Amino acid sequence: MTVKRIVSNIAVTSVDDVRAFYSELFDLDVVMDHGWIATLASGETAPTQISIAIEGGSGTAVPDLSIEVDDVDALYQRAKRLGHKIEYELTNEPWGVRRFYMLDPTGKLLSILAHPA
């Protein structure tokens, strides 16, 4: 048996508002929309992963979603420009990631990160 993918599902009261948040901030494309559910994608492929944690590292809360991007500094600036509140400032962590935390419109804690070269 092989796991082909794992999909994160976010319960919302407005599909349109949350779809717009993820689409605008992360440049994700709508690949399916039935009105009651919308699926966004980047077109990239990645290994299937699930992280299990008692903390988020550096004394932070465990994030609901971790989203790896190619340019975390640019996304941090975009999030600030769009008026999103930063919960944990952009930081170089001792285990080799650069990240920040923010909330999505549903209150999910997002860890936005990159692995600097």
pLDDT digits (tens, 9 = 90+) for 77-98: 999 999 999 999 999 999 999 9
> pLDDT digit string (tens) for 48-81?
999 999 999 999 999 999 999 999 999 999 999 9
Domain extents for the chain? 15-114
Q: Does domain 15-114 have CATH number 3.40.50.970?
A: no
pLDDT tens for residues 3-51? 999 999 999 999 999 999 999 999 999 999 999 999 999 999 999 999 9
DSSP calls for 3-26: ----------S-HHHHHHHHHHHH
Whether the model clears a pTM of 0.85, i.e. scores above it, the answer is yes
Is pLDDT at 117 greater than 90 in this prediction? no
In angstroms, rounded to a whole number, what is the distance separating the alpha carbons of residues 102 and 116?
Answer: 20
